[in-house]
């Protein structure tokens, strides 16, 4: 499993991620920008921060690299993330007048994958992403950068127990679809109603108990010699197929 530093929980790195953070209106304690000359993109970010009353401090490349080596010259320091609750996800679906469209991540360990899935979820119009509190990647600077700011627009809910959360979703009328290699083709399933799509860990897939709690098992058909996709690639295909059905 990847290791995470404490500073991961309070830093958003990279130009796209910081721009989306500023646009979301989420609290920012301070903006660190590389000392020296600023190009046009960085100047716009700084101007937006100043207009919002956020302190802007010049920092050396070495200091910025302590947060992420891929900071692109800007790091936003934020208060500890406030995760959403299940009610927030259902409230967003109700606000949009749509049946709930939820992504559940069953112990994704790589923060790059976590961020990439959240990005796909937001772009596909999902109302929320559910992640476990323990033994999984957290929404730190690496995941936030991979999400390209999508985590500022889609609720991310952290729960103590994925299996119990699936029970609650089912009580609220949500059908549970677990993504597994031996499942039915997503192109042959009804994905248009209230649905939660469960994606498992990079190595073990969806855990046994979570699979047992699911109503359906679905898969992405493979036409080449390999029989599996990276979890973030599989998520993108499944979520956008679900989005296509929902908006047809």
Q: Which residues pair with 87 in a beta bridge?
A: none
User: Which residue among 46, 77, 108 closes a domain?
Assistant: 77
End of a domain among 51, 77, 103?
A: 77
Per-residue model confidence as pLDDT tens digits over 129-156: 999 988 888 887 778 878 888 888 899 9
pLDDT at 139: 81
Say if residue 219 is in the same domain as residue 138.
yes
Residues 92 and 208 occupy one common structural domain: yes
Q: Which of 50, 45, 17, 214 is nearest to 118 (CA)?
A: 17
**Could you tell me the CATH number of the domain that includes residue 138?**
3.40.1280.10
Q: Are residues 135 and 186 in the same domain?
A: yes
Q: Are residues 217 and 237 in the same domain?
A: yes
Looking at the fold, whether 31 and 118 belong to one and the same domain comes out as no
Residue where one domain finishes, among candidates 22, 50, 77: 77
Residues 116 and 235 both lie in one domain: yes
Residue 18: give its domain's CATH number.
Answer: 3.30.1330.30
- Count of domains observed in the chain: 2
Q: Is residue 47 part of a domain?
A: yes
217 shares a domain with 110? yes
What pLDDT sits at residue 142?
79
The pTM assigned to this predicted structure is 0.74
The Cα–Cα gap between 166 and 176 comes to: 7
**156 is in which domain, residue-wise?**
86-247
Asked whether residue 196 falls in the same domain as residue 117, the answer is yes
Whether residue 104 sits in one domain with residue 70: no
- pLDDT number for residue 26: 81
Question: Residue 137 and residue 105: Cα distance in Å, rounded?
Answer: 10
pLDDT at 9: 46
Residue 5 neighbours by CB under 8 Å, 6+ apart: 140
15 is a domain residue: yes
**1 in a structural domain:** no
Run means of pLDDT, 10 residues per run, the chain, 248 residues: 40 89 86 89 93 92 89 87 90 96 95 94 97 86 82 91 96 96 93 94 88 95 89 96 93
CB 127 within 8 A of CB 89: yes
Element (H, E) at 216: strand 216-219
Could you tell me if 145 and 171 lie in one domain? yes
Q: Are residues 179 and 91 in the same domain?
A: yes
Within 13 A of 122's CA, how many CA atoms are on the CB side?
Answer: 18
C-alpha distances out from residue 85 to 34, 128, 158, 175, Å = 36, 9, 8, 19
Report yes or no on 190 lying in a domain.
yes
Q: Are residues 168 and 57 in the same domain?
A: no
């Amino acid at each position: 499993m990847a290791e995470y530093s404490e500073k991961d929980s309070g830093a958003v790195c990279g130009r796209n991620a910081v721009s989306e953070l500023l646009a979301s209106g989420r609290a920012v304690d301070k903006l660190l920008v590389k000392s020296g000359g600023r190009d046009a993109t960085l100047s716009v970010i700084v101007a937006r921060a100043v207009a919002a009353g956020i302190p802007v401090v010049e920092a050396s490349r070495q200091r910025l690299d302590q947060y992420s080596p891929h900071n692109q010259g800007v790091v936003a320091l934020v208060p500890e993330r406030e995760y959403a609750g299940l009610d927030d996800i259902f409230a967003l679906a109700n606000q949009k007048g749509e049946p709930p469209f939820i992504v559940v991540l069953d112990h994704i360990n790589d923060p790059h994958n976590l961020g990439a899935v959240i990005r796909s979820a937001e772009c596909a119009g999902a109302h929320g992403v559910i992640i476990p509190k323990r033994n999984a990647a957290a929404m730190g600077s690496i995941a936030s950068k991979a999400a390209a700011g999508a985590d500022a627009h889609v609720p991310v809910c952290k729960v103590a127990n994925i299996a119990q959360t699936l029970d609650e979703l089912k009580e609220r009328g949500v059908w549970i679809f677990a993504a597994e290699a031996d499942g039915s083709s997503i192109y042959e399933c009804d994905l248009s109603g209230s649905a939660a799509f469960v994606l498992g860990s990079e190595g073990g897939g969806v855990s046994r108990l979570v699979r047992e709690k699911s109503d359906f098992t679905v898969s992405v058909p493979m036409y080449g010699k390999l029989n599996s996709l990276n979890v973030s690639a599989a998520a993108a295909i499944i979520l956008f197929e679900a989005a296509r059905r929902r908006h047809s």
